[in-house]
Each structure stands twice: as structure tokens, then as C-alpha cells.
Structure 1
Amino acid sequence: MTDTTSQFDSTLIDIDAAEPAAWSAATWFAVLSMAATSFALVSAEFLPAGLLTPMASDLGISEGTAGQVVTATASVGAVTALLSNVLIGRLNRKAVLVGLSALAIGSNILAALATDFWLLLLGRAGLGVALSGFWALSVAVVARLVGANATGRGMAIVTLGVSLATIAAPSMGALISDWLGWRSAMAMTAGLAALAMLLQLLSLPTLPASASNSLSDVLRLTRRRAVQLGMLAILLLMTGHFAGSVYVRPFLEQVTLLETWPIALALLGFGIASVIGNIAGGRMADADIRVALMATAALMAFATLALVLWGAHIVVAFSFAMLWGFAFGMAPVVLPTNLSRGAPDALEAVGSLMVVSFQVAISIGAVFGGYAVDNYGATGPLILTAVLAASTVALALLQPRG
């Protein structure tokens, strides 16, 4: 295999270089390989949502127990994120990314072949390691590929894989499960990871480690005010989103009084809008990250508040569900880019803090969202989303422009 390092010399590996007028074919290929990896990993992460019933029946466990495979992935990911950049030391980052894809292949195969719940759980834990390691490195690698001034655009393409996977994985898994069985659906994600690994091998340049991080180096970054604000923005906005988004279906059932098929249509619209938001978020993040953060949070706050106030009307419910999806699509681009601006000299270490912040936000959001719906009904979680998103707008005002 040809070493492609020479194609990425100077401007492409220098993260301080100005954005080139146009990316070369090699740059596009490398960034798209990262997007393919995000699609493969997130597809595997969300696949169980469409497989719980046949999986539980085959393994002789309850659906609630089967659902813990998702919890296992997230929990292991949160713990691993803090240590990932410490453990990889000065290994070549291309080799690490390829190794993480190989781990995802093995983990998905183990899950597909699992004869009991504990083997399934072990396979999902391995996937959690692969996910957290990939996302912890993603911003730093993308910045080295495209330049710091185009990081938002690069991350928009990478996280486009996330948006597509969250739309496709649950339904795709359910269809394949009904046709060939849940194990075949799990094996399919191993195939996706293998394709991503091949693309990485062919397209990524050699990426020598620029630094070796210790845990103290990672934690020391939390003393920086810009990093603190960036982590807080993730915690506020994503806690709000995950507190409310889980309960969109009950809201549409109880408040808008929709049947199953129009609810599915509304959720599809949410997903399509998130893909568009992903692209818009990348352009805004590169232009002015402070404005991008304010816009993302303000749109989410407005959309969820409008749903609470006027969501009984079908057209309003559909329109503002899509606006919420658009804002959510912007968030995975804007929030990491915003955090990375607080530590441009330590992108790998700050990547660990980014993954931890997202995982903690998901966990907190699930807890508070459940409390809100139990005590205040279907509108409770959406009110919480609006309040936390509005708080993020206020937080963005404290950040410097740029």
C-alpha cells in the first residue's frame, strides 16, 4: 500500500494553516473515510432499538434486560473516553483508528454469535471502547486533514454519518431482523465496520502522534475558562435535548393526538432536517463559532417551546419537530468545534473531555426527562429542553467571538 503522507504535507497537517480554496481528492477521500467510520459505529450503537424483541426472545431474557446492551455501550464509552488518549500514547493515529475499526468488527461479530446475555454484553462493551476512542480522536484528526479554519466543515461531513445512522439503523435493523434474523442484522454492522476500515487504510495519511497525553494533562485542560464554557455548553444543550427527544412520541400521541403512521412521518422529518442542520452547522461553525452556538441553542429553545404552546395543531407540530431536528443536526458539529477552540494546542486531550461531556449529558438527560414526564406529563420534558437550550444561549454570550 502506498504511503500517502506526501499528499497531506504542509497545509493539510498544519492545523494552524489557512483553509485551502478547495480540498484535494485525497483530502475528500480521507474525510469521507472518517464519515464512513462514524456511520458504521453509530449504526451498530443504535441497531438494538429495532432488535429488542427477537433478541430477547432468542436469548431468553426480558426486553428490559436486552435494552441494557445500549446502556453498556454508553457506560463503557464514558469511562474509556477519559483514558483513550492516555492509553494510545505515541502510537500513529492512523494505526489507532484502523485498530478501533478492527475492534468494532470483532465486537459486532461476537454480539452476532453470542449464545447468552453476558457474551452479548461483552461484545457491546467492546463497541463502546471503539466509539469513544474514535470520537475522542475525531476533531484532532479532522483538523490535521483539512486545517483548523475548516474543522467545522470537516466535522459536518464526519457527523453526517451520525445523522444518517440514527435515521437508518433502527428501521434497517428491524427489516433485516424480520427477513434474516437479528444475528444477521448484527453481522451486517461488522461488514460496515470492515468497509470503513478498508477506506481508512486506503485514504488516511500516516498521522504520527504530535504529543503523548497523560490523565493529568487531560484534566488540566478543565482549568481553562474556554474549555469550561465549552463543556458546560455540551452538558446544558445535550442534557436538554436527550431529556425531551426520548418523549417526542408520547407528546405527539397525547398532545397532537396523532396515530402511528403520522408519528413515524414526523420522526422521519426530524431526521431529514437534522441532516440539513448538520451541513449548515459546519459552515456556521467555521464562520463564527459564537454565533453558531447561539443559533443552535436558540432554534432548539424556540422549537420546543413552540411545540409546548401550539403543538396540538398538526401542521405546527410537524413544522417545529423539523426545526428541532435541524437544531439537533447542528449540535454535533457546533459543540465539539466550540470546545476545540478552547484548546487548539491539545485537540486530542480535549476530544476526550468532549466525549465524556456528551455521555454524561445523555445519562443526565434520560434521568431528568423521565422525572419530568412522570410528574408533569408529556409536555414536561419539552419544557426542560427549552429551558436548558435557552440557558445555552445565555452561556454563548459569555464566549469570545471567532
Structure 2
Amino acid sequence: MTDTTSKLDNAAIDFDTGKPAAWSVATWFAILSMAATSFALVSAEFLPAGLLTPMARDLGITEGTAGQVVTATASVGAVTALLSNVFIGRLNRKGVLVGLSALAIGSNILAALASDFWLLLVGRAGLGIALSGFWALSVAVVARLVGANATGRGMAVVTLGVSLATIAAPSMGALISDWLGWRIAMAMTAGLAALAMLLQALSLPTLPASTSNSLADVFRLTARRGVQLGMLAILLLMTGHFAGSVYLRPFLEQVTHLETEWLALALLGFGIASVIGNVAGGRMADASIHLALGVTAALMAVAALALVLSGAHIGVAFTFVSLWGFAFGMAPVVLPTNLSRGAPDALEAAGSLMVVSFQVAISIGAVLGGYVVDHYGAVGPLTVTAVLAASTIALALLQPRS
């Protein structure tokens, strides 16, 4: 787009338009600023995975207690997602996005300087607000930047930052922590957020609010069948994914009997495949969201089932761990785009429900997977993944076509 104001300010989004137009340089920069923000926020979210030991030692707490910084981020994010679009009212969405990046900067600095566990939790809670606010607005903003019929492609670019951060943050955090200390590693995420904020300020067009949502407006959307099915798809597929993916490493160690170097290579394959799946998901979501949802679920179900049945063989394990990664890369693009089809006139409110659905799915998946692995071993959580992903295939067939 070449003007300074979004062209879709006051109209409901029509997802059935023709071939997407080529993006201008200005549009590319705007979308890349959103991708940079997702990378900065998700890097900060996943960073503690590589910092728990030195963080716990420095603050005089157990590693289990230190791990609650992740819980704080997710818990605050789930609550904030419901209220974010109510709080921002009719504020310009560009200003809101820049403000959320500023909040991430401050939160990461506070966490880096925290002298005790409670200050660290406050900093992480602020990050949870920034994360949930950003993702609640993401689909609506992307649709306004690139046009409704290119939303999947736009979200693929934005969520590419998620895939890259998921791969890089834990390992880079551990390396930087060993070299310079965990506080420096945490402070560097503030630098990433500052760069993202600068890119947003320079490249995003002004985005006047097209609506002002109340909490009642958000809940009213849940009466729509398309929204219900979209939320259910997120709950099923992401609960299945997080129930099983957390225990991929124990599975590969105990069932496939991979040594450390081969284990790292298999997980790297998962990450690389997720980046490729991210791009493929965007293309497919714009072409046919129903097909995209069915394919995403089918690939994850097949991958998990194959691992359960034949995962003791190294070749099978490598192949289907990568296939699982490909499906997971598609999911953050396909699932939000699918949900948005049920509320083309209320994308921001639908974004709030999307974030809540993801957070609930992550929580349920973690609890369910932990219970199953304790009672049924490393194969159990992957069986759950296969069953829930297969259920999502059936759900895709029920999606309304209008």
C-alpha cells in the first residue's frame, strides 16, 4: 500500500476476493516490522528455557520456581487477551502496537535488573501483556495491510518470526548466558524489542480504529458457528501438539535410543521443517482454508501415529519428526486465519478469542501430556497427539463454506 492510512478501516473483510495483488515496498516493510516484533516477543518468551539454571542460582531459588516465569507470562497473557481490545478502545492501532513494543522493552529490562523473584515475575507479566495484545491484533492488522485475500500469506511472514525464535532463543540464550550472564541475555531481548518498535514506527501506516470492542462483543462472537469451530480447531490441534511435542525428546531417547548429537539433529530438522511449513501454510490458507486445516491436521496425525507405531527405527523417527515440524509450522498461520473466517466483521475481537484458545490449549496440553507420560510412558503423549489431530480433520469437514 502506498498511502498512509489503511484502506480497510470501516468495512467488513471480504475473504472471497480474487487473486491477491502484488505487495508494494511499503507493504513489505510494514509486514516485516510485524515479523520482527513477533521474533522479539517470542524470543523473550522462550528465552528462560536456556537460562533456568543460572537464573535460579543467582536469585537463590529452585529451578522449578524459576520455571514459573514462563507460567506467569502465559497466565497473564490469557487474561489480557480477553480484555486487550476493550482497553485500547478507539486508539490508533499503530500507536497501540508501538506501545506494546515499548512495554516489552521495559518488561525485559526490569526482568534483567530484577534483584528478587517477584520483580522478575512482574517483568514477565508485562511481557505477557505485550504478547497477548500483539497477537490479538495481528490478524486484523495484517488483513488491513495486505488485503483480506492475502491474509494467510501475510500471517505466514509474521509467524515466521515465531518459528525462528523458537529455534534460536533457547540455544542462543544458553550460549550468551554462559558467556556474559543471564541478565545480559535478558537485556538483549529488550534490544530486539527496541529494533522492532523502531521498524513499526517507521513502516506501519496509521491504522485508525474501525471499531471499539466491549467484553460483551467478544463473548457474543462465540455464538457464531464459524467462530466456535475455529476455536475448537485450535483447542484440539494445539492441545494435541503440546501434549506430545514436549515429550519428543524423551521419546527419541527412550524409544528410538538416539544419542545426544543425533537427538539434536532430529530436533533441528523439526525446527527447519517448521519454517518451511510456515511458508506453505500461508499459501494454502489463502487458496483454501478448509483444505489447509485438513492438511495441517492430517500431517500431524500421520507423523505422530507413525512415530508411535515405528518410531524405534531411526529413519522413521527422523522423517516423521520433520513432518511433525512441517505441520506445526503451518498451524500458527492456518488456525488464526481459519478462525477469522467466522468473524470477518470483527477481526480484533476474534483475535482475542484466538489468543485465549491458544493459551488454554497450551495449558491443557502440558497438563494432559504430563499425566499421560507418567502413567503410560513416552509413547502415550504421542498417541494423544495422533487422536486429537485426527479429530481436527473431521472438524475441518464441518467448517462452514460461507
Q: So what's the TM-score if we normalise by structure 2? A: 0.97
State the partner residue of 1:211: 211
**Structure 1 residue 6: Cα displacement:** 2.0
Structure 1 position 21, deviation (Å)? 2.7
The code of the aligned residue for 2:90 comes to R
Which runs of structure 2 are paired with 1:137-152 in the superposition (5 Å)? 137-152=137-152
Instruction: Name the structure 1 match of 2:276.
Output: 276
In structure 2, what residue type is equivalent to 1:62? T
Identity between Structure 1 and Structure 2 (%): 86
Aligned to 2:92: 92
What code does the residue aligned with 1:292 have? A
Counterpart CA distance in 1 for 2:365 and 2:346 is 28
Q: Does 1:178 align with 2:178?
A: yes
When structure 1 is superposed on structure 2, of 271-280 and 255-264 the one drifting more is: 255-264
- Equivalence for 2:308: 308
User: What are the within-5 Å matches in structure 2 for residues 225-264 of structure 1?
Assistant: 225-264=225-264
Q: Residues 290-369 of structure 1: matches in 2 within 5 Å? A: 290-369=290-369
Report the Cα offset of residue 5 of structure 1.
Answer: 7.5
1:6 equivalent in alignment to 2:17: no
User: 2:302 is paired with a residue of what secondary structure?
Assistant: helix
Per the alignment, residue 390 of structure 1 pairs with: 390
> 1:261: Cα distance to partner?
1.3
Q: CA RMSD in A?
A: 1.4
Distance 1:265 1:381 in 2: 22
State the distance in 2 between where 1:398 and 1:88 align: 34
8 Å contact 2:230–2:339 — kept in the other structure?
A: yes
Match of 2:66 in 1: 66
Q: Deviations over 1:242-273 (max 9, x none)?
A: 00000000000100001111111111100000
Q: State the alpha-carbon separation in 1 of the partners of residues 8 and 353 from structure 2.
A: 27
The answer for the alignment partner of 1:106 in structure 2 is 106
Contact 1:235/1:361 (CA < 8 Å) preserved in 2? yes
Distance 2:10 2:321 in 1: 40
Cα distance change on mapping 1:92 and 1:10 into 2, 3 Å: closer
CA contact (8 A) 1:289 1:401 kept: no
User: CA 1:370/1:197 → structure 2, altered by over 3 Å: closer, same or farther?
Assistant: same
The one-character-per-residue Cα deviations of 1:150-197 (angstroms, maximum 9, x if unpaired) are 000000000000000000000000000011000000000000000000
The one-letter amino acid paired with 1:256 is T
Asked whether the 8 Å contact 1:136–1:352 carries over to 2, the reply is yes
Whether 2:119 is the aligned partner of 1:122: answer: no
In the alignment, is the contact (CA less than 8 A) between 1:289 and 1:338 conserved in 2?
Answer: yes
1:283-327, CA deviations, whole angstroms, 9 ceiling, x for partnerless residues? 000000000000000000000000000100001100000000000
> What are structure 2's unaligned runs of at least 5 residues?
none
CA distance in 2, matches of 1:233, 1:9: 30
User: Secondary structure, in 3 states, of the residue corresponding to 1:6?
Assistant: coil
Partner of 1:56: 56
Distance (whole Å) between structure 2 residues aligned to residue 9 and residue 371 of structure 1: 48
Q: Distance in 1 between matches of 2:85 and 2:7?
A: 25
Tell me, in whole angstroms, the C-alpha distance in 1 between the residues paired with 2:244 and 2:10: 40
Alpha-carbon separation, structure 1, partners of 2:317 and 2:246: 16
Aligned to 1:228, the other structure's residue is in SS state: helix
Structure 2 equivalent of residue 378 of structure 1: 378
Q: Give, in whole Å, the separation in 2 of the partners of 1:250 and 1:219.
A: 40
Tell me how far 1:9 sits from its aligned partner: 5.3
Q: 1:114 to 1:11 in 2, by over 3 A?
A: closer
1:78 corresponds in structure 2 to 78
Change (3 A) 1:9 1:41: closer
CA contact (8 A) 1:18 1:147 kept: no
- Distance in structure 2 (CA, Å) of the matches to 1:71 and 1:129: 13
| Cα distance in 1 for residues equivalent to 2:395 and 2:163 | 26
Aligned equivalents of 1:243 and 1:198: distance in 2?
37
Deviation per CA, 1:187-219: give whole Å up to 9, x if none: 000000000000000000000000000000000
Runs of 4+ in 1 over 3 A off after TM superposition: 7-20
8 A contact 2:35–2:158 mirrored in 1? yes
Deviation at 1:8, TM superposition (A): 5.1
Q: CA deviation at 1:10?
A: 3.9
